[in-house]
Chain A
Amino acid sequence: MNPLKQYLDLYRENRETIEQSSTPVLNALRTNALTVLEKEGSRLPGKCDEGYEKTAVDEMFAPDYGVNINGVKLPVDPSLTFKCDVPSVSTLLALVVGDTFIPTRTLLNNLPAGVTVTSLADASRTMPETVEKFLGKIANEDEAGVALNSLLVRDGLMVHVAEGVKAEKPIQIVNIFNTPVPTMAVRRVLVVAEENSSVKLLFCDHTQRDDTDYLDSQVIEVAVEAGAEVDICDIEESSPRTHRFSQLFTKQGNDSKLKVTGVTLVNGETRNNFTVKVEGNGCDTRLDGMAIGKASQSIDNRTYLLHASDHCSSNQLFKYVLDDSSRGAFEGLIEVAKGARFNEAYQSNRNILASKAARMHTKPQLLIYNDDVKCSHGATTGQLDERAIFYMQQRGIPQNEARTMLMQAFMVDIIEKVSIEGLSDRLRHLVERRFRGEDALCGDCSASCTPVTKKDNL
């Protein structure tokens, strides 16, 4: 059955409730979304669609999830999530519970002038032109996945950095699931970095229960204006019963810099789409990803990087370590449009299969319509070097330890590229714990991290 139908029905039945609890700017998106979804043959991509062979998004959306269309404010105890936090990262924190934005006091008190972090609803009142200019303009609203988000989204998050403002402290957005019933979160994020500004964003996905099914469907739109610099790190540490369909869309103005890092540590089934359009001249783009799979985790990243301008460079590096019967997929497409000259685009995908039942599917692609380019992609799938393990064992390192060390070393080049201060260390720590299988509860944790209570900040 086509899962779109249940969401269309939900919308039709609750149209007024949704629209009343939302704002005109968001409501404006719904008309187009409805047309797209009602079109004959419109459906969410499934296993038969090129590019979605390993993750059936339609099946992901098929179960009956609860959608918080009334905008009920759910109580949350963030300290649950931060028990294991490594305190060296100093950020301005905001929480998104389900799909409701909750700013913390630190955030509100310490936001530098010119930086706005607020709900989309508030933003559409305070800066309607900006929201209207970008919202729904960067994402491809004609894709069923995006249209569904636009149709059901009630509110979202807006990060705005004014012209010339350099936000030094990273802004951390923590997405939390904590409902006792299966829930789908419809998240929408709009990031606008005006000319010559800079901002660092850290998104963390958490669940506070691992006995409930969640579906995280988000659309993130990022506008990097001329000369601006944006750094986004997205870390998923949810639960084995969490499904995630994340769609990130960015566009870049002249001489801008963008860096996106996607990290999947704990999850159920994840599909991340990174759609990066480089439209300005002289841009620099970095797209990294890292995935650690165990048990029956499934991680599927898809990147589409379009060079439509001159003198730009882009780099992509995705690394996977897959254990047990986990599944990994990577599809990366670089397109150099006709007339786009002097571009350099590189892509690399390296994978380690650490167990017999693990599977990796890789599809790096190049679409080149111009001769003045330097493009390459590389992909390898292999295993840990037995000789290296033997060497370490000879020197008294137990086999398990040796394996963990090698896997950690494998991930280092991604971790070290993270530029948010303190985050590299934190990631290194998280990755180490992940490889040691100590990801679940604080009580079992052997790392002597100091529990912090950020509850006071609320």
Chain B
Amino acid sequence: MSKEEVKIDDVVGHDDEYKYGFVTDIDTEIIPPGLSEEVVRLISKKKGEPEWMLDFRLKAYRYWLTLPVPRWAHLDIPEIDFQAISYYAAPTKKEGPKSLDEVDPELLKTFDRLGIPLEEQKALSGMAVDAVMDSVSVKTTHRTLLAEKGIIFCSISEAIKEYPDLVKKYLGSVVSYRDNFYAALNSAVFSDGSFVYIPKGVRCPMELSTYFRINASGTGQFERTLIVADDDAYVSYLEGCTAPSRDENQLHAAIVEIVVENRAEVKYSTVQNWYAGDKEGRGGVYNFVTKRGLCRGDFSKLSWTQVETGSAITWKYPSCVLAGEGSVGEFYSVAVTKNRQQADTGTKMIHTGKNSRSTIVSKGISAGHSQNSYRGLVKVAPNAEGVRNYTQCDSLLLGSNCGAHTFPYIDVMNDSAVVEHEATTSKISEEQLFYCNQRGIPTEEAVGLIVNGYAKEVMNKLPMEFAVEAQRLLSLTLEGSVG
């Protein structure tokens, strides 16, 4: 082992503290663990849902029973006991807060500590926030302002009651309950999430944001997000997540569905910072998420940007179905794994529309004993003429015990398509480190600099407010782990 390597390993060695690892002591209503038709009915009843919603859940549950647990990912997933998880946990509330004064002060404190401006005056900084604690949407800000423009931004349970036609039309239209094991599970038990509808021709004046937090122990979080951008609409949507540090593994199986109509544009950014487990890999969140957008309209555009630093295991492929003519799909990702984390993440670009284009830029950084995989599909349907795709996935290895893997699938069924894929894997160049050292920059900082530069292409795609947070998060992660 060279001297340089020893240094990097030293840097990798010490662990930083996960600053969101605290537990909030508030009254929470948790139903007993286990999953059965009764539980599905109970969740539906607790949420006061209409009959059609219950049917949707039951159909999903019955289908889920027939499915085997997927094992194809390059992940070592311990057996999950689905009967040991509680499928519904919510901060107790009487009627639902009418104003902030009615919200449990402990809860407000929690979100303050997480740096989320729940209070209206703070929120004037220009972001509308929907905060989801455990399974229930706690508070959505800025609703009146948005309502003036005709924008609907509320929790999905409210949407089910207040806008049943919209929900009925779009729910499950992109990610069907038959999609996969975790999508079926989510469809059966999802408890809350956000619903966004941007009407025709409206440009959403502010960033919309959802903050997810798992608090209670022994529970899973199953939220569901549905975003619909009607013709010529535009919205930028942010998602952030944290969880307390616990020794047990918690399951997070979410679904995000996005529908983009003619000439509309949706930008979806995620900074995923679930608790990743400790150095030995104890605890942490299993993040098994199905995210998919349907670019249904012509010249529509969907852009996914994700910064993945948390979770013990990540299994996530934000995808675009590019059905509209000239539709555009983008995927920018930075995935950082350290310690014993595992990630199998990437995207799917399914081109069925003429002249549709997609860009994939994926940057993986692995450190410690982690395994980081990129898995992606680019598919060009027989009738999709003039499709263009460019994929670039780079992996950076820090330390000799980690792994970086790439599994791209490229299926081209039309002769007019141009599809390119490039991948590289390497470690931080010793020359670059040496150059920095020469100029008085210590190795740790130098590694941070290089990694930040490496990830910049993706960071630049994040909205301002998030970019700062993500950059900080990345260097914070690096500080303790170079990872």
Contact = CB atoms under 8 A, between A and B. Distances in A.
B418 interface: yes
B414 interface: yes
A351 B397 CA distance: 30
Given A359-B411, A382-B419, 18 more contacts: A50-B72, A338-B401, A355-B415, A361-B409, A362-B412, A366-B423, A368-B395, A368-B425, A371-B398, A371-B399, A374-B424, A374-B425, A380-B418, A381-B410, A381-B417, A381-B418, A382-B420, A383-B415
Interface string B254-287: 0000000000000000000000000000000000
Interface string A361-378: 111111111111111111
A365 B421 contact: no
A353 interface: yes
* Interface SS majority for chain A: strand
A366 B415 contact: no
A354 interface: yes
Contacts of B416: 383
19 contacts: A50-B72, A353-B412, A359-B412, A361-B410, A362-B408, A363-B408, A364-B421, A366-B405, A367-B403, A368-B395, A376-B423, A378-B422, A378-B423, A379-B408, A380-B421, A381-B410, A381-B412, A381-B419, A383-B416
A360 interface: yes
Contacts of B422: 376-378
B413 interface: yes
A371 B400 contact: yes
Contacts of A364: 406, 408, 421, 423
Contact of B421 (A356, A375, A378): A378
A363 B410 contact: yes
B417 A353 contact: yes
Interface in A323-373: 338-339, 341, 351, 353-373
Interface of B: 72, 74, 382, 395, 397-427
B423 A359 contact: no
Contacts of B409: 361-363
Contacts of A362: 408-412, 421
Contacts of B408: 362-365, 379
Contact of A369 (B403, B410, B417, B420): B403
A372 B400 contact: yes
A371 B12 CA distance: 13
A368 B72 contact: no
A260 B231 CA distance: 55
A248 to B, nearest CB: 23
B425 to A, nearest CB: 4
Lowest 9 CB-CB distances: which A-B pairs, in order?
A371-B397, A353-B415, A371-B427, A362-B410, A366-B406, A375-B425, A379-B421, A376-B424, A381-B412
* Interface SS majority for chain B: strand
Contacts of A341: 400
Contacts of A379: 408, 410, 419-421
Given A376-B424, A382-B419, A361 B406 contact: no
A371 B382 CA distance: 40
Among the interface residues A368, A373, A379, which one has the most CB atoms of the partner chain B within 10 A?
Answer: A368
Nearest to A355: B415
A380 B412 CA distance: 10
Contacts of B399: 371
Contacts of A355: 415
Contacts of A382: 417-420
A109 B127 CA distance: 86
Nearest to A331: B409
Contacts of B397: 368, 370-371, 373
Interface in A42-88: 50
A371 B418 contact: no
Contacts of A354: 415
A444 B401 CA distance: 61
Contacts of B411: 359-362
A370 B398 CA distance: 9
A256 B402 CA distance: 29
Contacts of B74: 367
Contacts of B427: 371-373
Nearest to A363: B409
Nearest to B367: A371
Given A362-B410, A366-B404, A368-B395, A373 B425 contact: yes
B424 A375 contact: yes
Contacts of B402: 369, 371
Given A370-B400, A371-B397, A376 B421 contact: no
B359 to A, nearest CB: 15
